[in-house]
Structure 1
Amino acid sequence: FAHVRRRRFLHEVVMRTNNLLLNFAAPLLQRRSQRTCWMRVRSKDWWERVVLKEFEDEEWKDNFRMTRRSFNKLCGMMEGVLKPEVVTVRAPVPLEMRVAIVLYKLASCAQYRLVANQFGVHKTTVKKFVYIFCKGMVSSPVIHNFIKVPTTKEAIGIARRFEQKFNIPQIIGCIDGTHIPVLPPSDGYQEFANCEGWPSYVLQAVVDDMYRFWNINCKMPGWTYDDNVLRQSTLFNQAHLLPKVKINGVPINHFLLGDPAYPLMDWLIKGYAHSPNITPEQESFNAYLSSARTTAETAFERLKSRWRVLLKRSDCHFTFTPHVVGACCALHNFCENEKESVNPIWTEEAAALALDLPQPGLRAFNTSDNANDFSQTKVYTCILKIQS
C-alpha cells in the first residue's frame, strides 16, 4: 500500500497549492477593470474666451487675416462646405471654429500639432478641416464667388482704370507666375525641382488693376518653362472667349500684359526685345508696360504676405498643394473685395522668409525676337489707333 499512500500525498500537495494560488488570485478576479477614456479633454479657452470675447479687429487680422465682420461673412459663404454633421455622441466643432482653424493654419503655416494645441482639438481634426475647406472651395461652385473671368461690363471698367493708371488702353489684366514650395514625392524630386534647385509648383495668374486674381493655374511642376505653363492652361485654350469691346462697330480684343518669357499673341502683349536698334518710342512703350506689370508682382506679394503657407514647404501632400494654392488665391480675392488691408509687418516678414527659397528668373523655351518685334509693332500701331 505504499504507492497508494504516495499518490494520496501528492494529490494533497497539488490541492493545497491550487488553493493557495486561488487565494492570491481571488482579489484580482474580483477587482473591476477601469474603463479607458475614449476622448481626451482639451482646453478651448483660447478660442472660446480670448478670441471670441476679447479680440479686437487688429488681433483678428493678425491671426486670421481679416476682421471679425469679414470672418462672419466668410463663414456664411462656406456653410455649405464646412457645416457640421448632426451627431448624437458629442457636440461637433462649430462652423466658426472650423473656419478659424483653417485660416490660422494657412496664415501661419504652423504644424498641424501646434494649430491643434492652440484650438484644443486633435491634429487629425485640423488636417481634416483644412482638406475639406480647401477642396470644397476649389472644387465646388463656391470658387466662382471669388475667382472668375470678368464680364464685358467688368472688363471695360478694368481697362478704363488700367488706362488711367498706366496710359495703355484695352488692358484687362497682367499675367505672371510665381513658384510655390511643395513637398515632392520621394521618386519625383527632379520633376518638381526648378532652376534654383528647390521643388515647386508654378502658379500662373492673371491679375486685374485691384490686385485680384481672375484666372489661376497651378498644376505644372517647377521645371516647366513659363510659356509651356501658359500653353497647358485653360486660359490659353479659351482665350477666344475673353471679353471684347466694339470700337466703331469693330470688335477689338482686350489685352493681357506679360513679361518677355511669354509668347506674343493677339490677346497677349509684351515689351520689345532690348537691342541696339530699339527706338525711343519702343523704349517708352516698354517703360509703360513694365510699370503696369508691377500690378501682378504686388498681387503676389500681398497674397504671400497674407498666407504664409505659400512661402514654406508645407506638410500637405504634393497632390493636394494645388487645392491649397487655389483656396489661398480665393481668400486673397475675398480680402481684397472686403477692403482688408495688408499689414506692412506681414510684408516684411514674408520678404525675409522668401530669401530662403529665391524665386527663379524668367524662363522661355524658345522665342524669336525678330518675329516678336514685327508683331509687336503691329500691336503698338493698333494701340496708337485706339488712343487716337
Structure 2
Amino acid sequence: MEPKLLRNMLTSLASTSRLAVELLLKIQTDSEDSDDDIDSSNVYDMRLLVAFMDMLTTVERCFWARETSTEWWDHIVLQAWDDEQWLQNFRMRKATFMGLCEELAPILRRKGTRLRAALMMEKRVAIAIWKLATPDSYRSVANQFGVGKSTVGIVLMQVFSAINRILLRRTVTLGNVHDIVTGFAQMGFPNCGGVIDGTHIPILAPAYLTSKYVNRKGYFSMILQALVDHHGHLIDNNTGWPGKVHDTCIFRNTGLFRKLQVRRQNAHCDPWRPHLPFMLWLLKPYTGSLDSSKEQFNNRLSWWSVLLAI
C-alpha cells in the first residue's frame, strides 16, 4: 500500500475517535525524535498500523441498545397461549400465524451481525400483526415485544412490503367468475358476481385536514372498500380514503368501477351477461314501502350489504 494512502486512511480513521487521535499524536512525537531519517516514513506508517490494530482489538465497545425483556413473547405467547388467546389478540390461530411466517420467510429472514443478533422472523411478523390487530401505540408495542420504538416502525414497513410482494396478488384475485355466479345463485342471488361494501378503520386524528377524516359515526377513520365472492374471500379492495367520503364517491373513483364500465359497454360480446337495474350492473336494497317479497330480499341482502352484479 502506498505510504501516502495509508497515512490518509489512518488519519481519517483517527478523526473519529478521541483515543485514536491521542495515539496518533504520541506516535508522531516519537517518530520526530527518531534519528533515522531514511526509514522514518516506513517506521511511522508501521507504528500507526500496529497502534490502531491494537486499539481496535482491545478497546471495550459500548452498545447503544437499552436493556429490554422478551420474556412475554418467548415464553408466554409462543409456549403458553392456546388458540383462543391467539384469536383474541392476533385475530388468527397459531397455526395460521406460523403458515404466514413461512410464506414471508424468503423476504423477512435476516442474518445477525457481530454487534447484535437479528430479530427473529416470527417476532417481526408478530409485531406487525399485533399493531394491525390492536390500537396500541408504537411505544406500547415496543415495550410489549422488548424492542425499540423505531424498530417497530421499520418492522411494519418490512412486513407490509413482503405481504404486498408475496401474498397480495395471490390472495386478492378475481377467481372463477362462473363458480362465483353459481355460488351466489345457490344462495338466492342469481346472476351475481360479487358483493361490495365499505368499512371504517379507526385511526388517530391526522395532523392535517382533520375534519375530512371524521366519519358519520363521529370518530376518525379511513375507509376500506372491499369486493368479495360467495365465500367472503376478497377479490378486489381499495383503501386510503378519508372517513368522511361517501361510499359512492369512493366506488366511482376506483379501478374496479372503470373496468366494469368498460366491460358493460362490451356486454354484447358476452351473451350470458345479466342486466340488472341501477347502472345496469349494481343492485341495492329496496327502499320505501315494501311488500313481503321485497322485505325478504332486503333481509337476505342485509348481511352482504350491497350487491355487485356482473
Superposition TM-score tier, normalisation by shorter sequence: 0.5 to 0.7
CA distance in 1, matches of 2:233, 2:134: 22
Q: Which residue of 1 aligns with 2:126?
A: 100
Aligned-CA RMSD value: 3.2
Q: Which residue of 2 aligns with 1:269?
A: 283
Q: Given the alignment of the two structures, is residue 156 of structure 1 paired with residue 178 of structure 2, yes or no?
A: yes
- After superposition, the Cα gap between the structure-2 partners of 1:242 and 1:52, relative to the gap in structure 1 and judged at 3 Å, is farther
Length, aligned pairs only: 246
Q: Which residue of 2 aligns with 1:145?
A: 170
Shift of 1:209: 2.5
Is the CA contact (8 Å cut-off) linking 1:207 and 1:296 kept in structure 2?
no
CA distance in 2, matches of 1:95, 1:160: 41
Is the CA contact (8 Å cut-off) linking 1:158 and 1:209 kept in structure 2?
yes
Shift of 1:231: 0.7
Q: Deviations over 1:196-223 (max 9, x none)?
A: 4443322211122222222111132223
The correspondence for 1:206, drawn from 227, 236, 246, is: 227
Shift of 1:35: 6.6
Q: 2:273 is paired with a residue of what secondary structure?
A: strand
Q: 2:207 is paired with a residue of what secondary structure?
A: coil
Shift of 1:172: 2.4
The 4+ residue runs of structure 1 with deviation greater than 6 A are none
- After superposition, the Cα gap between the structure-2 partners of 1:251 and 1:86, relative to the gap in structure 1 and judged at 3 Å, is farther
Q: Which residue of 1 aligns with 2:73?
A: 47
Q: Which residue of 1 aligns with 2:23?
A: none
Q: Which residue of 2 aligns with 1:111?
A: 137
Amino acid paired to 1:267: W
The sequence identity of aligned pairs, in percent, is 32
Shift of 1:56: 2.7
Q: Which residue of 2 aligns with 1:76?
A: 102
CA distance in 2, matches of 1:296, 1:135: 31
- After superposition, the Cα gap between the structure-2 partners of 1:264 and 1:135, relative to the gap in structure 1 and judged at 3 Å, is farther
Q: Which residue of 2 aligns with 1:174?
A: 195
Q: Deviations over 1:93-142 (max 9, x none)?
A: 0111111111122222222222222221112212221222224424x252
Amino acid paired to 2:167: V
Amino acid paired to 2:182: R
CA distance in 2, matches of 1:216, 1:120: 34
Q: Given the alignment of the two structures, is residue 219 of structure 1 paired with residue 240 of structure 2, yes or no?
A: yes
Q: 1:230 is paired with a residue of what secondary structure?
A: helix
Q: Which residue of 2 aligns with 1:190?
A: 211
CA distance in 1, matches of 2:205, 2:137: 18
Q: Deviations over 1:153-208 (max 9, x none)?
A: xx32232232222x221112221122223334433113333344443322211122
Q: Which residue of 1 aligns with 2:301?
A: 292
Unaligned runs of 5+ in 1: 1-32, 256-262, 298-378, 380-388
- After superposition, the Cα gap between the structure-2 partners of 1:215 and 1:202, relative to the gap in structure 1 and judged at 3 Å, is same
The correspondence for 2:272, drawn from 235, 238, 251, is: 251
Is the CA contact (8 Å cut-off) linking 1:81 and 1:137 kept in structure 2?
no
Is the CA contact (8 Å cut-off) linking 1:149 and 1:214 kept in structure 2?
yes
Is the CA contact (8 Å cut-off) linking 2:213 and 2:221 kept in structure 1?
yes
Shift of 1:234: 1.0
Q: 2:182 is paired with a residue of what secondary structure?
A: helix
CA distance in 2, matches of 1:294, 1:198: 23
- After superposition, the Cα gap between the structure-2 partners of 1:219 and 1:55, relative to the gap in structure 1 and judged at 3 Å, is closer
Is the CA contact (8 Å cut-off) linking 2:196 and 2:225 kept in structure 1?
yes
Amino acid paired to 1:190: S
Shift of 1:38: 1.8
Amino acid paired to 2:155: F
Q: Deviations over 1:209-258 (max 9, x none)?
A: 22222211113222322221111011101115779xx9xx8231487xxx
CA distance in 1, matches of 2:192, 2:258: 19
Amino acid paired to 1:46: W
Is the CA contact (8 Å cut-off) linking 2:139 and 2:149 kept in structure 1?
yes
Unaligned runs of 5+ in 2: 1-58
Q: 2:304 is paired with a residue of what secondary structure?
A: helix
CA distance in 2, matches of 1:87, 1:242: 54
Is the CA contact (8 Å cut-off) linking 1:207 and 1:295 kept in structure 2?
no
Q: Deviations over 1:296-343 (max 9, x none)?
A: 59xxxxxxxxxxxxxxxxxxxxxxxxxxxxxxxxxxxxxxxxxxxxxx
CA distance in 2, matches of 1:80, 1:52: 22
